[in-house]
Structure 1
Amino acid sequence: MISWRKHYKRGLLAITLLLTTTASVHAQDGDPKNGEKLFKAQCAACHALDKQMVGPALGGVVERLKTEQNLDIDWLRSWIKDNEALRASGDKYANEVYEKFNKTPMTPFPNLSDKDIDDILAYTTNPPAPEPAAAAEGGASQADTIAALEEARKQSDNSKILLISLGFIAALLLWLLLRLRQLVKLSQSQELAELDQTRIHSIGDFYSKYKLVGQGLLGLLALFAFYGVWNWTMDIGVYKGYKPEQPIYFSHKIHAGDNKIDCQLCHSSAKYGKVSEIPSMNVCMNCHRNISEYNGAYLEPGKDKAFYDGEIQKIYAATGWDPESQSYKNKPQPVEWVRIHNMPDFVYFNHAQHVVAGEQAILNSHNKKNPNDQIDVVCKACHGQVDTMNVVSMANDFTMGWCIECHRTTEVDMNNGYNKEYFQNLHDKLKKQYPKSEGKITVDAIGGLECGKCHY
């Protein structure tokens, strides 16, 4: 009888242990390596293992749910495949999670099989160790050792070359010293004293002897000085190539180039307004609310992932965004951007007039004049290939002459609906006025060179 009770207690203990470890056994049955691939493809946009993003941190989620909520892996499968249905069934914890994360529903994944989910959970429970980095580090260490030995050998060779050079210089100095002694003795001779009487001893003597040559050189020097001053005055206010450092690093190559973000998504007023404004930080947060770290393949030379992640954190600090609570709970800080393109106050320039009315004419003219620098967006005609710039710089002179030359060479499309109707009575007059144009009318022919167009 005693033996039966002992075996009964052992059986109960085994059943209890089995029930409490069911979730971990399921997680261990999965393939963490496959789970890592699935996690990065399906989950990494909103979740991380070690920190909260849009959703909670998922490291050890299986054990955590078992301990805190007494929920097993079947609940996780139901939540991942269709969390909306799970909430609709009245599941208490499913609705608590929904409320806690600002009522943001998680994307359902009905396409994931139970095996796929087990693999993902196995990855969150036991993330696989990185690929054998030790061997790579060892190889790198061996390579470093070889490089260090090679560098030491080069330094030894350099030391020998330096000693030989110093010896040569010492010999040269000794030879010069001997020659100087000979010259001193020679200077004391009678013949040299007589010869010295015929030599020029001052600048005044030299100028008197070569007066005409001196005046010619002075005139030439004055001419070069005037030319230099003239060029300097012509460069006043011209800042081509200017690219100041901004308080938050923003790479147009990553955003407009790699990610193909349209210019007017951020600079929205360029199309229908006079000024192309600097985007507000709320525009940045439209994307970066859910992008808290940089996972792109491109890294600018000298910068790493940690640098880009730090710049994203500056956006959060400027807007007062708290990524932990997913809310604007902190005090926002203004960003002091450094302006790059800035027309003088006496110049009138309307972006809409060029981006909308002159878009096709500017594109055609630029691509015709620059066959090796074709553009697909009208903005690039003035601002250059911005989608290739890590730091935006001023691509052109933006001088009055530069604008006038553009007006003189950009052909107006006289066949579009507006121009055809508005200038219908001027066509013949323009053809007579510009006979060499062969019917092609440029911007200057329709008032593009009138002072009042650009100056108040």
Structure 2
Amino acid sequence: MISWRKHYRQTLIAIGLLLSTSASIYGQDGDPKNGEKLFKANCTACHALDKQVIGPALKGVVARLETEQGLGKDWLYKWIKNNKELRASGDKYANEVFEKFNKTEMQVFPNLTDKDIDDILAYTTNPPEPAPAKTDAAKDTANAGSANAAPQSSTTTNVVIISLLAIAGLLVWILLKLRQLVKLGQSEDLAGLNETRVKSFREIYEKYHYIGKGLIAILALLAAYGVWNWIMWIGVYKGYKPEQPIYFSHKIHAGEQKIDCQLCHSSAKYGKVSEIPSMNVCMNCHRTISEYNAEHYMEPGKDKAFYDGEIKKIYAATGWDPEKQQYTGKTQPVEWTRIHNMPDFVYFNHAQHVVAGEQAIINSFNKKNPNNKIDVVCKACHGKIDTMNVVQMANDFTMGWCIECHRTTEVDMNNGYNKEYFKNLHDKLKKQYPKDGGKITVDAIGGLECGKCHY
């Protein structure tokens, strides 16, 4: 009896040791919460837990490596810290992985300690369950409420319609009665007076022709002003914001993600026009960002499925296969709707304003708008793009609007371009334009010459 109990106790101890050993093997000796932070900071550019991106899916990678290749964590430490060095050493599996994934070289992470890697592997082995989406519960509640409210809404509508019909009938009856009362109360004297009243417009005009002519003159002036005002606003589309074939939110990209304007609009600084970026520019990021995970910001009426669908449109346009992680060669053109478009007879050069006038324009705008300051020159003309979900025309873009800017924007003579270009004219201009302590505005250097903008 005693020997049986001893054997039973030894069995329990062995099982406990086996469980603790297996837990250690499969990455449970790390901190999954810290691993999640490290994974998002270092790995999400190329990896996901549940699907292949640029690199393989990493969920259960420790167990998979142990089962399929007989390799443990030591191999993973070497691979993550410096996979290039591991491949150069002749490691067979390291070179197989490199070949399998199109010879895409993985970034090295010498800064990660063994403890950091343990935490990451613990996260890939046992990722925490995502919190239930609040939006779904809210939608269910709203749908249930709307279903219950539907019969009540229908009943209320019927009551309102019946009430309106009753009121209309009552008003008609009152009008008929009033008409009868007027006829009954009309005396013979009143009837005679009605016969002497003016009964035609001609008689009224002959009696009050001076007043009539004055009113006609006033109406003519108002009509002329209306026509002139209408003509002057032809081609002015302030507030114009068309729907685009692929939804693109500047608020998410330039605002939330702080992406610089010139990363996408690269020709705005050194070119005449600010080009629409090619879809390959989008793919620089969206090759690895295949779904929308910014649950903290979603526009009203839009959900994750909507944003994911727009990313798929980018893939369709560029011919990208997210499963195989390669281009198919089957591309589709994207017909963007242009928003800002100068007439053919107007010359405008982005480079001249962004390079030579950048700081001057920013300073002038902030001086005139102390409560609405800007940090980049683009916003002076295009508005605060980083707050727009749908881009719209923020200003008039009329000739008068441009001239007013040229008359009030002070030239930055310390700018390297201006300092060299106006070297001989600098002192002369100071004497010629002594206003505001010798400050020189754009109109003083030819900003109002017709040939500057019309050629």
Give TM-score scaled by structure 1 length: 0.79
Residue of structure 2 in register with 1:229 after alignment: 227
The CA deviation at 1:290 is: 1.6
Residue of structure 1 in register with 2:405 after alignment: 406
Q: What SS class does the counterpart of residue 448 from structure 1 fall into?
A: coil
The CA deviation at 1:341 is: 1.5
Aligned pairs for 1:296-311 within 5 A: 296=294, 297-311=296-310
CA distance in 2, matches of 1:47, 1:238: 48
CA distance in 2, matches of 1:214, 1:421: 67
The CA deviation at 1:71 is: 6.4
CA distance in 2, matches of 1:140, 1:450: 60
Residue of structure 2 in register with 1:430 after alignment: 429
Q: 1:103 to 1:23 in 2, by over 3 A?
A: farther
Which digits, 9 at most, give the CA deviation of each residue in 1:231-279, with x for residues without a partner? 0011012122222221112111222222222222222222222222111
Which digits, 9 at most, give the CA deviation of each residue in 1:15-57, with x for residues without a partner? 9xx99xx979955967997476665555444333443212223
Q: 1:65 to 1:226 in 2, by over 3 A?
A: same
CA contact (8 A) 2:32 2:119 kept: no
Matching residue's letter, 1:311: E
Aligned pairs for 1:128-207 within 5 A: 129-131=129-131, 170-186=169-185, 190-207=188-205
- Provide the identity percentage: 68
Which digits, 9 at most, give the CA deviation of each residue in 1:120-142, with x for residues without a partner? 3432xxx65554779x9889877
Give TM-score scaled by structure 2 length: 0.79
Residue of structure 1 in register with 2:450 after alignment: 451
Q: What SS class does the counterpart of residue 197 from structure 1 fall into?
A: helix
Aligned pairs for 1:333-372 within 5 A: 333-372=332-371
Matching residue's letter, 2:319: G
Which digits, 9 at most, give the CA deviation of each residue in 1:374-406, with x for residues without a partner? 122122222221122212212222222222222
Residue of structure 1 in register with 2:288 after alignment: 290
CA distance in 2, matches of 1:243, 1:229: 26
CA distance in 2, matches of 1:278, 1:97: 38
Residue of structure 1 in register with 2:103 after alignment: 103
CA contact (8 A) 2:66 2:72 kept: yes
The CA deviation at 1:227 is: 1.0
Residue of structure 2 in register with 1:53 after alignment: 53
Alignment root-mean-square deviation, CA: 3.9
Between stretches 398-407 and 75-84, larger displacement belongs to 75-84
CA distance in 1, matches of 2:428, 2:76: 79
- Structure 1: state its 5+ residue gaps: 1-14
CA contact (8 A) 2:431 2:438 kept: no
CA contact (8 A) 1:253 1:388 kept: yes
Aligned residues: 433
Between stretches 361-370 and 87-96, larger displacement belongs to 87-96
The CA deviation at 1:426 is: 3.6
Q: What SS class does the counterpart of residue 367 from structure 1 fall into?
A: helix
Q: 1:204 to 1:259 in 2, by over 3 A?
A: same
The CA deviation at 1:226 is: 0.9
Matching residue's letter, 2:262: Q
Which digits, 9 at most, give the CA deviation of each residue in 1:287-331, with x for residues without a partner? 211211222332223222222222111111111111122211231
CA contact (8 A) 1:53 1:290 kept: yes
Matching residue's letter, 1:276: S
Aligned pairs for 1:30-49 within 5 A: 34=33, 40=40, 43-49=43-49
1:119 paired with 2:122, answer yes
Which digits, 9 at most, give the CA deviation of each residue in 1:341-363, with x for residues without a partner? 11122222221111111222222
Q: 1:106 to 1:119 in 2, by over 3 A?
A: same
The CA deviation at 1:450 is: 1.7
Q: 1:61 to 1:415 in 2, by over 3 A?
A: closer
Q: 1:305 to 1:157 in 2, by over 3 A?
A: closer
Q: What SS class does the counterpart of residue 271 from structure 1 fall into?
A: coil
CA distance in 1, matches of 2:300, 2:133: 23
Which digits, 9 at most, give the CA deviation of each residue in 1:89-131, with x for residues without a partner? 65544432221111224456653547535633432xxx65554
Q: 1:81 to 1:368 in 2, by over 3 A?
A: closer
Q: 1:183 to 1:419 in 2, by over 3 A?
A: closer
Q: 1:42 to 1:262 in 2, by over 3 A?
A: closer
Q: What SS class does the counterpart of residue 365 from structure 1 fall into?
A: helix
Residue of structure 1 in register with 2:277 after alignment: 279
